[in-house]
Structure 1
Amino acid sequence: MVVQKFFKLVEIQTKAASMIPLLLGTVYALFRFHEFQAWHFVLMLVSLLSFDMATTAINNYYDYKKAAKKDGYGYEIHNAIVRYHMNPGAVVAVIVTLLLIAVLAGIALFFKTGLLVLLLGGLSFAVGILYSFGPIPISRMPLGEIFSGLFMGFVIIFISAYIHAGEKLASLTLQGGTVLLQVHLAEVLWIFLVSIPAVLGIANIMLANNICDLEEDLENKRYTLPVYIGRTHALRLFRVLYYAAYADLIVLWFLRVPLLLLVLAALTLIPVRQNTRKFIAEPTKQFTFALSVRNFILTNAARIAVLGLAVVFTIR
């Protein structure tokens, strides 16, 4: 029962949003640079998963403390603190423990890799905390989709490729009091283009969450993107972003991924389209929100498989 409460508090079912970018960046490093550092991967996995769980717990805790109304809209079901009558002090202890694990693993990774990981990791930690905490959290503004998409999509993929490839991507050094940053712009641009499905997929998870919580957010004065643009436009944006996510297949073709593999990845558009229609027909937290997570997994797991098979073909 304790494990069930913990999983609900950290919303374990949404952790694919951070684990898949980690895997995508790793397999990209294997495909593009033929590099893999196992210990670096383990440290980033521990740090990333712990921090992702911590930020979700912070978000639930902050919603609990700030909510003007703690019943209705399914709030008493999907907020773990209310549903399981959790002790707020115990929730804070869990959050602190997860953050401590994330920071320690992140520092160990920094010592193994370099200053750039410290800079990007620290920036990601700051955005993650500010997403749910502070006078005006990012999650309560119409910026949540942009920040979550870019940082959990592109930045995580970049870091997870960098910890394997290192200076083949970029370097940040301190020489005599001068900070020297060197970036291989073409390689970073390739990574950004390859990360499009992750960026847009994560943005759509957040968008779907905000669409489902529209009435509750209005009640609790959370002015998210759907509050500003309305449900109709938010649902239209939700659909368009999935189609745009498939633009990366052209990029993978330029990177010489076999065309047959790209065709197989493109076929995931069929179930993604079906799931999108179901969500648009009935956008609810209880019944259809999980479809946005499923779409994210479908599109990005296909890319991971495609790049993984391309690695095998290259080795052979």
Structure 2
Amino acid sequence: MRFKHFWELAEVYTAPLNIFLVLIGASYAQFQFDASLNVPFLIYTLIILSFHVTVNIFNNYMDYKNASEDHQYKQKSNIIGREHLSLTVVFRYFLFFMALSSVLGALLIWMTSIWLMIPGVVGFYIGLFYSAGPRPLNSLPIAETVTALASGYFIPLVALYVLVYQEPAFFNSSVMLNVLLVCLPLVLMMFNNLLANNTCDLEEDIVNHRKTLVYYIGKHRAVRILKFNFIVSFLLLPTLVVFDKAPWPVALLVLILPLLLRKLQPYFTKQDKQKTFPLVLMTMSVLMMGYPCLYLIGLFF
């Protein structure tokens, strides 16, 4: 397999977003508890990156195997069929990165706490059964919500935990709620990403027997929800500053909200995977990357 095929198969280009999810958890730990980086945190970051690759390879593998023959998804859309990749080789890549993630996960649990096995098992289950099983998660109307919470909330939450695990008093239900509030803008953006993707793929999903949220609410309502979530995610930023959940620089992002809404106007008009969906990814990445970076910068003030 050539590197460019692996790059698309594993969707390596989306991996940096996971770094920013880890970063927001680490920044909050520093902001509230003056926590410092440690070895478990570095191992956790490697787990997130390796499992990201694992899940994407497996999703492409399962999507190819489960795709209906009634259209040309296998031949034109899926990287495996389009580039004539060997299913055996693809599955071996999946097994390698799955094993790497599992070994690193076991090491992290050994270094920190057995309690990390709970989010670990849940995360592995969601990642692998997103596209596998008799009722894959990506064929259900709860896919956007479950995946957005798992990525946008649980990844930062565990990042915080591995930084403060030696001080159990720092980690309680109140902290977990505060982390949820801090991560809510990211959760809404992750939700929007999946919602927009499923909106553009609605016709193809119907042929593949996937009844996503868009299938039940329709494209018009899906676009309205996306726009509402987008606005709320930005307006939450100054609110978090007011309630001392975030440093003041993160509030600056709200200033570019009108510009981003104008950028999204073509998507609001027509939902097309090739032409307008990239606009959703671009505008989403502004908050997904800008928010954690400004949070980190704010620590120096």
Q: 1:273 aligns with which of 261, 268, 279?
A: 261
Identical aligned residues as a percent: 27
Superposed, 1:279-294 pairs within 5 Å as: 279-294=267-282
Cross-structure match for 1:308: 296
Cross-structure match for 1:126: 125
Runs of at least 4 residues of structure 1 off by over 6 A? none
Cross-structure match for 2:95: 96
Question: How many angstroms does 1:256 deviate by?
Answer: 6.3
Question: How many angstroms does 1:3 deviate by?
Answer: 0.9
Cα separation, partners in 2 of 1:58 and 1:256, compared to 1, 3 Å: closer
Superposed, 1:9-158 pairs within 5 Å as: 9-69=9-69, 71-72=71-72, 76-158=75-157
CA contact (8 A) 1:211 1:234 kept: yes
With normalisation by structure 2, the TM-score equals 0.92
* Cα RMSD for the two superposed structures: 2.1
Cα separation, partners in 2 of 1:299 and 1:110, compared to 1, 3 Å: same
Deviates more, 1:113-122 or 1:264-273: 264-273
CA contact (8 A) 1:145 1:206 kept: yes
Cross-structure match for 2:194: 206
Question: How many angstroms does 1:142 deviate by?
Answer: 0.7
SS at match of 2:264: helix
In structure 2, how many angstroms separate the alpha carbons of the residues matched to 1:49 and 1:226? Answer: 29
Question: How many angstroms does 1:257 deviate by?
Answer: 4.5
SS at match of 2:135: coil
| Unmatched 5+ stretches in structure 1 | 172-182
In structure 2, how many angstroms separate the alpha carbons of the residues matched to 1:170 and 1:70? Answer: 57
In structure 2, how many angstroms separate the alpha carbons of the residues matched to 1:256 and 1:131? Answer: 32
* 1:27-83, Cα deviation, whole Å (9 max, x unpaired): 2212221112342222112111111121122211111111113744x7644311011
Cross-structure match for 1:6: 6
CA contact (8 A) 2:31 2:299 kept: yes
SS at match of 2:275: coil
Cα separation, partners in 2 of 1:165 and 1:286, compared to 1, 3 Å: same
In structure 2, how many angstroms separate the alpha carbons of the residues matched to 1:155 and 1:256? Answer: 18
SS at match of 2:300: helix
Q: 1:254 aligns with which of 240, 243, 254?
A: 243
Q: Which amino acid aligns with 2:30?
A: L
SS at match of 1:267: helix
Q: 2:177 aligns with which of 184, 189, 195?
A: 189
Cα separation, partners in 2 of 1:97 and 1:278, compared to 1, 3 Å: same
Cross-structure match for 1:235: 223
Corresponding residue pairs, total: 300
Question: How many angstroms does 1:170 deviate by?
Answer: 6.5
In structure 1, how many angstroms separate the alpha carbons of the residues matched to 2:168 and 2:81? Answer: 46
Deviates more, 1:195-204 or 1:50-59: 50-59
Q: Which amino acid aligns with 1:55?
A: V
Is 1:220 equivalent to 2:208 in the alignment? Answer: yes
Cα separation, partners in 2 of 1:276 and 1:167, compared to 1, 3 Å: farther
